[in-house]
Amino acid sequence: PGVRGLAPYEPGKPIEALRREYGVEEVIKLASNENPLGPSPRASEAAAAAVQEGHRYPDGNGFELRHAIAERHGIDPQRVTLGNGSNDVLALVAQTFLGPGRCAVFSAHAFAVYPIVTQAVGAEARVVPALAADHPAQPRGHDLEAMAAATDDTVQVVFVANPNNPTGTWVGAEALRRFLDAVPARTLAVVDEAYFEYAVEEADYPDASRWLDDYPNLIVTRSFSKVHGLGGLRAGYALSHPAVAELMNRVRQPFNCSGPAQAAAAASLADAEHLERSVALNTEQRALLRRGLEELGFVPLPSAGNFLTFDAGARAAELNEGLLRSGVIVRPVDAYDLPGHLRVSVGTPTENRTFLAALSRQLHGGA
């Protein structure tokens, strides 16, 4: 029954699909929060070398990558669970700890994979209303107090996206600690930090991975798809108490993270310069994109990620269609209970200018 009630996840339109459907040659994809600079050259080289060994199964326990991740966080490798992207890790949490008669809590407008993995295993999803659209600091953000109140002893898992996709909103260290203090000890608190590297620029943005010793029920998830630019290779991970990791590793498919993905992820962790460059570009371009949208009359939600979401109003579908016809792919996020909202990923300066010009043409006409 849970599966029958699910709506499939709608990913960003693939570039090739747009070329075929609309006959446009030049396509700009700002729909999946990808790093416009691509991966670190060191990661690409490592992946290519691993492909030469593609006839061999990868290390099913991900020894090197888990050790590299553990070293990065200053923790024991036994706390690390690898995933085929962090979506895989979220699914592992659900497969391991949820099921019929069990319950997960998350916010309205939260990342779409939480309801999917919850319902897919027959568990109940308890959706907590988000902060108001006119909240002064975090419009449509997670209401952590209401989420804590909803997370009673009957709840096995609570998901917090920090920052959240598609709203871009985030929670600060103090509020998150208060929330974790309020969550029952037997309930697992998943803090999804897929956009962590972009968000560390915000004052008071927490690195929840430092709190693993304080909260044995804490699971922090990270992704290699965003700032590391490895979305196509699929690698992500969870950090948790070793006992929680040990349970998830019983359920995990042994070769869930491919050889090239493991090699590229480890190489990317070692290229701090590429990450810095990527974050700096995002911070600069996100501000320009925001200003450009404001000049066109839109009010993007505050975002600590590599994307901006804005209410495009009654003309949203028409604007999106017009953008597609001009070769620009953005993401309508109606399915997140945000009707009329579009999400645009931060691209290169040229991509962002092209997007703003195309949107302006849709609004005002002209060549």
Nearest to residue 89, comparing CAs of 211, 191, 238?
Answer: 238
Among 107, 138, 165, 209, binds ligand PMP (CB under 6 A): 165
What is the smallest separation between the CB atom of 230 and ligand PMP, expressed in angstroms? 8
Q: How far apart are CA 290 and CA 35, in angstroms?
A: 18
Q: Which stretch binds ligand PMP (CB under 6 A): 58-66, 83-91, 96-104, 133-141?
A: 83-91
Considering beta carbons, is residue 10 or 53 the nearer one to ligand PMP?
10
Percentages helix, strand, coil for the chain (3-state, rounded to 5) are: 40, 15, 45
- ∠74-75-77 over CA atoms, to 5°? 125
Nearest to residue 162, comparing CAs of 298, 305, 310?
Answer: 305
Q: How far apart are CA 116 and CA 159, in angstroms?
A: 12
Q: How far apart are CA 162 and CA 141, in angstroms?
A: 10
In the stretch 111-130, what mask flags binding to ligand PMP with x, by CB under 6 A? x-------------------
What is the smallest separation between the CB atom of 227 and ligand PMP, expressed in angstroms? 11
- For residue 161, state whether it binds ligand PMP (rule: CB under 6 A): yes
- For residue 162, state whether it binds ligand PMP (rule: CB under 6 A): no
- For residue 282, state whether it binds ligand PMP (rule: CB under 6 A): no
What is the smallest separation between the CB atom of 329 and ligand PMP, expressed in angstroms? 15
- For residue 306, state whether it binds ligand PMP (rule: CB under 6 A): no
- For residue 259, state whether it binds ligand PMP (rule: CB under 6 A): no
Among 12, 85, 168, 332, binds ligand PMP (CB under 6 A): 85
Which residue has tokens 């009957």?
154
Considering beta carbons, is residue 160 or 358 the nearer one to ligand PMP?
160
- For residue 236, state whether it binds ligand PMP (rule: CB under 6 A): yes
- For residue 223, state whether it binds ligand PMP (rule: CB under 6 A): yes
Cβ contacts of 232 within 8 Å, gap of 6 or more:
none
What is the smallest separation between the CB atom of 82 and ligand PMP, expressed in angstroms? 11
Q: How far apart are CA 68 and CA 4, in angstroms?
A: 40
Residue nearest to ligand PMP (CB): 85
- For residue 34, state whether it binds ligand PMP (rule: CB under 6 A): no
**8 Å CB contact between 268 and 40:** yes
Tokens of 90: 């979220």
What is the smallest separation between the CB atom of 63 and ligand PMP, expressed in angstroms? 21
- 182 exposure class (CB count in 10 Å sphere: 0-12, 13-18, 19+): middle
- Strand, helix or coil for residue 312: coil
Q: Which residues lie near ligand PMP (CB under 6 A)?
A: 33, 85-87, 111, 161, 165, 192, 194, 223, 225, 231, 236
